Amino acid sequence: MVRSQYKFNAETLLFEVTHISRGMKLKRFLCGFLVSVLLTVGYYMIYIQYFDTPHLLSMRRDNADLLVKYDLLNKRFEEANGFLTQIQRRDNNVYRATFGLEIIPLSIRDAGFGGVDKYSHLEKSNYASTLIQTSQQLDILLKKAYIQSISFDTITKLAAMTEQMSYCVPAIQPVSSDKMRITDGFRFRINPVDGRPQHHKGIDIGIPVGTPIFATGNGVIETTKYSFLGYGNCVVINHGFGYSTLYAHLYKIMVSEGQTVKRGEQIGLSGNTGKSTAPHLHYEVLYRSKPQNPVNYFSNDIDIDEYEKIIANAQENKEFD
């Protein structure tokens, strides 16, 4: 049924039928439609502002669950880092100390990595701070584990060479046990030659000229020379594993540079060459070029018979070689 619209005519005092154009109808329809759309959008915005949709509720639950998992993951990283720190301490204080290795300082274990832009690709994420923190902890853990792995590789190699190392470390006295008489020790003293204070880097063993001098551990002859600095005729043996020994004031040198020697093998005869006030042997033990007290390396449980046996075995092996 078509509804008609009427308009009052003041001249005729009658209501007359009016006709609405199609354009006006279309205009009214579009205005009504636009108002409906705006009202719908407005109602929706108000709804989602104060009420969560099922989809939004689900997303928020997923996000909350994800953040909890990130927190748990970070805590596990912290625990793993704590365990690795304990291993590092044990490595420095036990494993490396056992084999005479220098400790790995924290400046190397905890050294930085990457550049300033290493995590820039994560900064655009909604959870940038959490992702960057987790990535940093993972990188720190991996770097520490890598350095620790290298340290364990070194220790493993040394452990496999334990027997060889036991023969190389200077462990016997450089002269026969029955002739061993220390006349000056490893200490700060006044030099008997020039009267100047100095640190005596080894020990002096008072023995007659011509007394046989023996290598205190397996090694390679590094130096045979006459030292004008006071040592006179001297021999330096490189034992490997960071150890070397020096034998000074010799009357005669019986080895040559590059020669391999065994523990107990004769390397020369004692003398009184260089700056010396009386016949004696000046003997030094160095570890990583740092002087050590030689007395600490003597095997006190070796008696004269055992010492002579070591000397005899070294001579037999030399002739066999």
Tens digit of each residue's pLDDT (9 = 90 or more) over 213-258 = 999 999 999 999 999 888 999 999 999 888 999 999 999 999 999 9
pTM above 0.75, yes or no: no
**Residue at a domain's end among 116, 141, 160:** 160
Same domain? 191 vs 302: yes
Which tokens is 309 given?
């046996």
202 with 283, same domain?
yes
Q: Is residue 55 part of a domain?
A: no
283 and 141 in a common domain: no
Those residues of the chain that have pLDDT short of 70 are 1-9, 13, 15-21, 47-53, 55-56, 111-116, 121, 125-127, 191-195, 300-301, 316-321
Nearest residue to 229 via CA among 214, 246, 245: 246
- CA dist 43 and 34 (Å) reads 14
Mark whether 237 and 174 lie in a shared domain: yes
Q: What is the CATH number of the domain that holds 280?
A: 2.70.70.10
SS3 234: strand
Number of domains in the chain: 3
Residue 63 lies in a domain: no
Asked, for residue 60, whether it belongs to a domain, the answer is no
Residue reference for tokens 């509720």: 57
Q: Mark whether 284 and 188 lie in a shared domain.
A: yes
What pLDDT digit, counting tens, does each position of 40-65 carry? Answer: 777 777 766 666 667 667 777 777 77
108, 126, 160 — which closes off a domain? Answer: 160
Same domain, 177 and 147: no
**Beta-sheet strands, E only, within 125-231:** 182-184, 187-190, 197-200, 203-205, 212-214, 219-227
Is residue 182 domain-shared with residue 283, that is, in the same domain?
yes
Structure tokens at 279: 């016949």
- Same domain flag for 215 and 86: no
Domain-located, residue 188: yes
Asked whether residue 21 is domain-assigned, the answer is yes
Say what the alpha-carbon torsion angle 167, 168, 169, 171 is, to the nearest 10 degrees: 50
Residue 239 backbone phi and psi in degrees, to 5: -90, -5
> Do both 183 and 263 map to the same domain?
yes
Quick one: pLDDT at residue 3? Answer: 58
Extract the tokens encoding 176: 């026969």
Give the domain-ending residue among 127, 160, 193: 160
In a domain, 58, yes or no: no
Amino acid at 75: K
306 and 196 in a common domain: yes
Same domain, 184 and 316: yes
DSSP assignment of 254-302 equals ---TT-EE-TT-EEEEEB--SS-SSSBEEEEEEETTEEE-GGGG--TT-
Residue 219 in any domain: the answer is: yes
Q: Is the Cβ–Cβ distance between 282 and 202 less than 8 Å?
A: yes
Q: Which residues pair with 284 in a beta bridge?
A: 246
Looking at the structure, tell me whether residues 119 and 261 fall in a common domain.
no
Domain that holds residue 95: 76-160
61 part of a folded domain:
no
